[in-house]
């Protein structure tokens, strides 16, 4: 046996048996099994045994990239996100990139890549691009700019068509490892397990992950179609140990798994879930009440189990959606502006009607109201309904007549182009204050500007003066002791915002030199007048609540966002928030759509396995069948009616 392998954990030794035989492999491990530890061990041993060969490691997030880079620092190791890896390997083939995008855009079956009003796209369409095809955080195909979704499709097309590209990558990297494979697009897996096989060059592809944690719709979920015992199939190696969760959480998690893996506590006395060589028992609670007020649940856990909801690093409350959190966390108005504006929904309805009916009228000089009037003129019955607000839209409009009249006065050309999405408000949430912001946040320029203001306020309030001086735009004015005094007065006048609205704080921060209004904000106000005018009148104190939530200073998190994290105390709220893709009631009853049941079971598994010490689940007003199932999963004594 090669030197050093005997000290490796058994699953990693099995991986090297696959490597020695030239087989691709899959390490399947449940939550808390130490998959990342195994991945790092494999990388280190591969580098030790093949010091001249390059190794690529791809993972799902920039945070994971950083973690692996910190654990393994070697010149021959390239750690990146999957998107960055693919782009780095195709970006120099500009001729082929242009051909691929044109071909895909002209293919009616590929809906995600298209250039409106240009069909078919001529072969010379991208010839004059000064910088060629580019990859950015946003898509603008007319200018040859692709984003995340388009990149995967284009890359798959190129690797399928040009076998030499696979050979080039295989020559460059003898070992390619993919972490959290279950969240990877099928298009990506096809590149490495189908298109790569068309090249005679040899290399090893290794996957690490857990099919039970495939909670994203665009992920492949599992590698069942590629697994097998023959030489050309992927060799699956299970990892059953659990190093994170206490015994009772492991027992519950095993009841939720559907892939045949039964987790067991680690035998390592140094594992986080061990105390003096004995696995922690922990607590698992199923709480229910006829009252849906979560504050009652929090009070119960505080008084009876000592939970501290003020400590966001130790305790988390997991909700399915941001909408379920917004009211509790104090940013309801902002959430509704970005996610529940039915005037914008009506605008989209009008825009879709024009497109679907091939209406070629030039509305450039018309207002939104004039476009509505034109489309409705002479229509009745179903035809009129098609260009009128739905019942939901009408109710919203009736409650916001002044806002609707304002929208109708706006240029249709500008108003129809205005893109609004909740990601522009909520993207880049941290789990706690120690997290780092990711690259390429989707926040819009208004929210980014407000973040700059509040960051200045927070740094000063927390006496982080050196960081504050680096962050404030006033730093360019500091030339004397008098200017420092002026800065102190200016920031202190801004700290207590009281009842001030967002626009007043923006202007105050600009006038005092704390955070200057820049071209990006000016451009936002010009191009997104409607959105700006809605946000500007919201109290700045509400934005501060949003800031606290996104900076990880609250106990709240969405269930999807918490994947990969762990906390001492985890409270899971079983409320689907009206989202039809999930149904927690059906999960306990094992009824309903198989796809919804599968999706719900996986997110519930992920949530439960975040707990390092104590898990509590809250179900509002369950029926007797749900309670019976809860007793089977949690144990009779752990199902508690908190109304009693």
| Per-residue pLDDT tens over the stretch 369-382 | 999 999 999 999 99
* Placement of tokens 């060629």 in the chain: 132
Give the mean pLDDT of 194-212: 95
Mean pLDDT taken over the chain: 93
Q: What is the pLDDT of residue 260?
A: 86
Residue 440: pLDDT over 60: no
Distances (CA, A) of 353 to 195, 341, 356, 357, 388: 41, 19, 5, 6, 10
Distances (CA, A) of 269 to 38, 262, 275: 17, 20, 7
Q: Regarding beta strands 278-279 and 639-641, do their DSSP bridges make them parallel or antiparallel, or are they unpaired?
A: unpaired
Closest CA to 262 of 285, 242, 282, 291: 242
Distances (CA, A) of 369 to 58, 315, 375: 50, 50, 10
Q: What is the pLDDT of residue 33?
A: 94
In the three-class reduction of DSSP (H, G, I as helix; E, B as strand; rest coil), residue 12 is classed as helix
Query: Rounded to an integer, what distance in angstroms lies between the CA atom of residue 8 and that of residue 5?
Result: 5
Write the DSSP assignment of 139-185 as a string of letters. -BGGGTEE-HHHHHHHHHHHHHH-HHHHHHHHHH-SEEEEESGGGS-
- Which two three-digit tokens encode residue 15? 């991986």
Residue 433: pLDDT over 70: no
How many Cβ atoms are within 10 Å of 340's Cβ, its own excluded?
Answer: 15
In the three-class reduction of DSSP (H, G, I as helix; E, B as strand; rest coil), residue 2 is classed as coil
Least confident of 1-5, 186-190, 519-523, 591-595: 1-5
Angle of helix 368-376 versus helix 401-409 axis, rounded to 10: 90
In the three-class reduction of DSSP (H, G, I as helix; E, B as strand; rest coil), residue 342 is classed as helix
Q: What is the pLDDT of residue 436?
A: 61
Percent above pLDDT 90 for the chain: 83
Q: Regarding beta strands 315-319 and 145-146, do their DSSP bridges make them parallel or antiparallel, or are they unpaired?
A: unpaired
Least confident of 43-47, 413-417, 477-481, 556-560: 477-481
Query: Rounded to an integer, what distance in angstroms lies between the CA atom of residue 314 and that of residue 296?
Result: 20
Strand order in the sheet with 175-179: 77-81, 55-59, 175-179, 204-209, 25-29, 235-239
Q: What are phi and psi for residue 599, nearest 5 degrees?
A: -65, -45
Contacts of 20 (CB under 8 A, 6+ apart): none
Query: Rounded to an integer, what distance in angstroms lies between the CA atom of residue 92 and that of residue 377?
Result: 53
Q: What are phi and psi for residue 26, nearest 5 degrees?
A: -135, 120
Peptide bond into 120 cis (omega under 30): yes
pLDDT, tens digit, for every residue of 496-546? 999 999 999 999 999 999 999 999 999 999 999 999 999 999 999 999 999
Residue 396: pLDDT over 90: yes
Closest CA to 287 of 557, 567, 573: 573
Closest CA to 611 of 575, 572, 640: 572
* Placement of tokens 């379920």 in the chain: 324
Query: Rounded to an integer, what distance in angstroms lies between the CA atom of residue 634 and that of residue 628?
Result: 10
Assess contact for 160 and 195: CB atoms under 8 A. Answer: yes
Assess contact for 110 and 104: CB atoms under 8 A. Answer: yes
Residue 416: pLDDT over 70: yes
Q: What are phi and psi for residue 209, nearest 5 degrees?
A: 170, -165
Give the mean pLDDT of 428-444: 71
pLDDT, tens digit, for every residue of 70-81? 999 899 999 999
Residue 302: pLDDT over 60: yes
Q: What is the pLDDT of residue 153?
A: 95
Residue 138: pLDDT over 90: no
pLDDT, tens digit, for every residue of 4-23? 787 889 999 999 999 999 99
């Amino acid at each position: 046996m090669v030197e050093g392998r005997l000290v490796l954990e058994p699953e990693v030794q099995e991986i090297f048996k696959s490597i020695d035989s030239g087989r691709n492999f899959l390490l399947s491990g449940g939550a808390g099994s130490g998959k990342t530890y195994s991945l790092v061990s494999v990388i280190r041993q591969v580098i030790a045994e093949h010091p001249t060969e390059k190794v690529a490691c791809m993972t799902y997030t920039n945070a994971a990239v950083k973690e692996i880079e910190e654990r393994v620092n070697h010149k021959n190791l390239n750690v990146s996100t999957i998107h960055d890896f693919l782009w780095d390997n195709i970006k120099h083939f500009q001729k082929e990139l242009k051909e691929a995008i044109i071909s895909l855009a002209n293919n009616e079956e590929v809906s995600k890549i298209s250039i409106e009003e240009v069909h078919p796209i001529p072969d010379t369409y991208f010839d004059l691009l000064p910088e060629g095809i580019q990859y950015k955080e946003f898509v603008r195909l007319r200018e040859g700019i692709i984003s995340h979704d388009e990149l995967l499709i284009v890359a798959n097309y190129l690797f399928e068509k040009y076998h030499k590209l696979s050979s080039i990558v295989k020559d460059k990297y003898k070992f390619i490892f993919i972490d959290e494979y279950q969240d990877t697009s099928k298009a990506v897996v096809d590149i490495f397990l189908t298109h790569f096989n068309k090249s005679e060059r040899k290399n090893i592809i290794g996957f690490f992950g857990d099919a039970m944690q495939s909670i994203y719709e665009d992920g492949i979920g599992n590698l069942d179609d590629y697994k097998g015992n023959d030489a050309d199939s992927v060799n699956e190696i299970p990892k059953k140990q659990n190093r994170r969760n206490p015994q009772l959480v492991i027992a519950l998690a095993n009841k939720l798994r559907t892939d045949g893996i039964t987790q067991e506590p680690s035998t390592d006395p140094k594992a986080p879930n061990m105390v003096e060589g004995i696995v922690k028992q922990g607590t698992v609670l199923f709480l229910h009440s006829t009252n849906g007020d979560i504050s009652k649940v929090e009070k119960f856990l505080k008084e009876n189990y000592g939970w501290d909801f003020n400590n966001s690093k130790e305790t988390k409350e997991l909700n399915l959606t941001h909408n379920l959190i917004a009211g509790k966390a104090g940013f309801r108005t902002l959430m509704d502006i970005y996610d529940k504006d039915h005037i914008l929904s009506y605008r989209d309805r009008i825009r879709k009607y024009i497109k679907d009916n091939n209406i070629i009228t030039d509305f450039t000089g018309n207002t939104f109201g004039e476009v509505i009037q034109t489309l409705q003129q002479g229509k009745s019955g179903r035809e009129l309904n098609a260009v009128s607000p739905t019942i939901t839209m009408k109710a919203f409009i009736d409650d916001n007549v002044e806002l609707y009249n304002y929208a109708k006065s706006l240029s249709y050309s500008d108003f129809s182009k205005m893109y609004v999405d909740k990601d522009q408000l909520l993207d880049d949430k941290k789990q706690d204050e120690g997290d780092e912001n990711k690259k390429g946040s989707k926040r819009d320029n208004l929210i980014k500007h407000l973040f700059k203001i509040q960051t200045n306020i927070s740094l000063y309030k927390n006496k982080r003066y050196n960081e504050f001086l680096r962050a404030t735009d006033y730093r360019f004015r500091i030339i004397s002791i008098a200017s420092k005094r002026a800065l102190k007065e200016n920031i202190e006048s801004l700290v207590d915002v009281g009842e001030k609205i967002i626009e007043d704080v923006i202007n105050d921060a600009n006038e005092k030199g704390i955070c200057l209004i820049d071209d990006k904000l000016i451009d936002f106000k010009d191009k997104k007048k409607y959105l700006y005018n809605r946000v500007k009148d919201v109290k700045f104190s509400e934005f501060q609540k949003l800031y606290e939530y996104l900076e990880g200073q609250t106990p709240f998190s969405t269930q999807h966002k918490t994947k990969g994290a762990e906390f001492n105390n985890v409270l899971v709220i079983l409320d689907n928030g009206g989202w039809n893709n999930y149904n927690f009631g059906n999960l306990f009853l094992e009824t309903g759509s198989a796809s919804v049941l599968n999706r719900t079971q996986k997110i519930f598994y992920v949530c439960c396995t975040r707990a390092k010490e104590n898990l509590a689940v809250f179900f509002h007003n369950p029926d007797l069948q749900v309670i019976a199932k809860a007793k089977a999963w949690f144990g009779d004594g752990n199902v508690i009616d908190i109304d009693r």
